Amino acid sequence: MKARRLLPRLSLHSQRALMGFAFTIPFAVGFALFLLYPFVQSVMLSLSELSLSPDGFTTTYVGLRNYHHALFVDPQFRRVFVETLGGMLIDIPAILMFSFFAATILNQKFRGRLLARVVFFLPVILGAEVFVQIDQTHYMSQALGMASKGIVDIEHMKVIFGNTTATKSAVEFLMDSINRIPQIIQASGIQILVFLAALQSIPPSLYEAADVEGATGWESFWKITFPLMVPMFMVNIVYTIIDTFTSPSNRLMMYIKSSAWARGGYGVSVAMSWFYFLALLLILGVAVALVSRGVHYES
């Protein structure tokens, strides 16, 4: 009896609140221990120099030296940073457009559709990170031009278009764009799934009504399909940006990781990843702001 008076009877509402808290508490703990705490540590690390010893690690405060080192001393960071971000600005819209297009195709009825779907989602299964690393570090296979060769060979194209300086840069740009295609297709698996799921959730009665009214397929695509897909673009833009940025197989991530165990050391590597994180937040913010203008959620 005493215990009951000490613990007042909770209303159903606060009981449920407590229950919800109990369900989500593991994440709160995990976030604090494995993300927030290391996150704070990483700020501290980026401002200090780290030395390891058998019984722990010590840090000495060095101010902004690591950031300075990352930007101005490290020989490759700036170049890799700009190149990777530039590549992403091309890749992200391309991935979105491709996955939307592929989803509309896969949503149509044609012979072999099941097989086509199986193949299109194959990259989701076969995206082993170690392969990318092997292809990049594998000088022998590159020399032989086999395992990592693009669809079109640049030497062949140079022969076709002539090897003058004027055509050279044009050909190289063209080749670069063409050789991005596999990469874009490989990165679109999840986005195709999301678009496809959304396409299948559109009630067929809408199309039937449009058909009765005499709308062509082209018209019903732009008047029915596209507007209903716009919120999905939002989901996929956010997913694509986060995925391309945090994918350990992109060049900048590899570079940052490799500099942690070499060159400048931990502090510089953390400083580099802070520049990277800020760039991610900036691009994500701009993209969300731009797209959310066009999204009208149906209430």
Kindly indicate which of the ranges 29-37, 61-69, 75-83, 169-177 contains the residues binding other proteins, using the contact rule CB under 8 A: 29-37
Kindly indicate which of the ranges 73-81, 86-94, 157-165, 189-197 contains the residues binding other proteins, using the contact rule CB under 8 A: 189-197
The whole-angstrom separation of Cα 94 and Cα 185 is 9
Q: How many residues bind other proteins (CB under 8 A)?
A: 93
Cβ closest to other proteins, residue 206 vs residue 260:
260
The whole-angstrom separation of Cα 99 and Cα 105 is 10
The whole-angstrom separation of Cα 215 and Cα 119 is 33
Cβ closest to other proteins, residue 108 vs residue 205:
108
Supply the minimum distance, in Å, between the C-beta of residue 209 and other proteins: 20
| The pair of three-digit structure tokens given for residue 232, joined into one six-digit string | 């999905």
Q: Is position 276 an interface residue for other proteins (rule: CB under 8 A)?
A: yes
DSSP collapsed to 3 states, the chain: CHHHHHCCCCCHHHHHHHHHHHHHHHHHHHHHHHHHHHHHHHHHHHCEEEEEECCEEEEEECCCHHHHHHHHHCCCHHHHHHHHHHHHHHHHHHHHHHHHHHHHHHHCCCCCHHHHHHHHCHHHHCCCHHHHHHHHHCHHHHHHCCCCCCCCCHHHHHHHHCCCHHHHHHHHHHHHHHHHHHHHHHCCHHHHHHHHHHHHCCCHHHHHHHHHCCCCHHHHHHHHHHHHHHHHHHHHHHHHHHHHHHCCCCHHHHHHHHHHCCCCCHHHHHHHHHHHHHHHHHHHHHHHHHHHHHCCCCC
Task: Pick the binder of other proteins from 95, 102, 103, 175 (CB under 8 A).
Answer: 102
Kindly indicate which of the ranges 66-74, 85-93, 147-155, 206-214 contains the residues binding other proteins, using the contact rule CB under 8 A: 147-155
Cβ closest to other proteins, residue 34 vs residue 226:
34
Q: Is position 23 an interface residue for other proteins (rule: CB under 8 A)?
A: yes
Q: Is position 123 an interface residue for other proteins (rule: CB under 8 A)?
A: yes
Q: Is position 273 an interface residue for other proteins (rule: CB under 8 A)?
A: yes
Task: Pick the binder of other proteins from 90, 97, 118, 159 (CB under 8 A).
Answer: 118
Supply the minimum distance, in Å, between the C-beta of residue 104 and other proteins: 10
Q: Is position 10 an interface residue for other proteins (rule: CB under 8 A)?
A: no
Could you tell me how many residues make up the chain?
Answer: 299
Q: Is position 167 an interface residue for other proteins (rule: CB under 8 A)?
A: no
The whole-angstrom separation of Cα 286 and Cα 234 is 12
User: With the CA atoms of 63, 69, 269 and 148 taken in that order, what torsion angle do they form, in degrees rounded to the nearest 10?
Assistant: 170
Supply the minimum distance, in Å, between the C-beta of residue 280 and other proteins: 7
Kindly indicate which of the ranges 42-50, 74-82, 156-164, 207-215 contains the residues binding other proteins, using the contact rule CB under 8 A: 42-50
Cβ closest to other proteins, residue 128 vs residue 295:
128
Task: Pick the binder of other proteins from 71, 174, 224, 260 (CB under 8 A).
Answer: 260
Subset of 58-87 contacting other proteins (CB under 8 A): none
Q: Is position 198 an interface residue for other proteins (rule: CB under 8 A)?
A: yes
Supply the minimum distance, in Å, between the C-beta of residue 40 and other proteins: 8
Q: Is position 248 an interface residue for other proteins (rule: CB under 8 A)?
A: yes
Half-sphere exposure of 7 (CA within 13 A, CB side): 5
Q: Is position 296 an interface residue for other proteins (rule: CB under 8 A)?
A: no
